[in-house]
Amino acid sequence: MSKRLFDIAASLAGLIVLAPLFALAALWIKLDSPGPLFFRQQRVGRHGKLFSIYKFRTMAAAPDTSAQLTVGCDRRITSAGAFLRQHKLDELPQLINVLQGAMSLVGPRPEVPRYVACYPPAVRAIVLSVAPGITDWASILYREESAILGRAADPERAYVETILPTKLDYYVRYVSERSFWTDLRIIASTLSALVHR
Residues of the chain with pLDDT under 50: 65
d(CA 79, CA 162): 30
Are residues 128 and 103 in contact, defined by beta-carbon separation less than 8 angstroms? no
β partners of residue 125: none
Q: Give the three-class secondary structure for 79.
A: helix
Are residues 175 and 127 in contact, defined by beta-carbon separation less than 8 angstroms? yes
Report percent pLDDT > 90 for the chain: 76
Q: Which residue type sits at 117?
A: A
* Predicted pLDDT at 138: 95
Which residues are CB-contacts of 31 (< 8 A; sequence separation ≥ 6)?
80
* Predicted pLDDT at 143: 85
β partners of residue 51: 43
Phi-psi region at 4: left, alpha or beta (left = phi > 0; alpha = psi -120 to 50): alpha
* Predicted pLDDT at 67: 56
* Predicted pLDDT at 194: 85
For the chain, give every domain's residue range.
3-195
* Predicted pLDDT at 68: 61
* Predicted pLDDT at 196: 75
| Nearest residue to 134 (alpha-carbon basis) of 170, 105, 157 | 105
Are residues 47 and 117 in contact, defined by beta-carbon separation less than 8 angstroms? no
Global pTM reads: 0.90
d(CA 61, CA 33): 9
* Predicted pLDDT at 181: 94
CB atoms within 10 A of CB 183: 22
* Predicted pLDDT at 1: 62
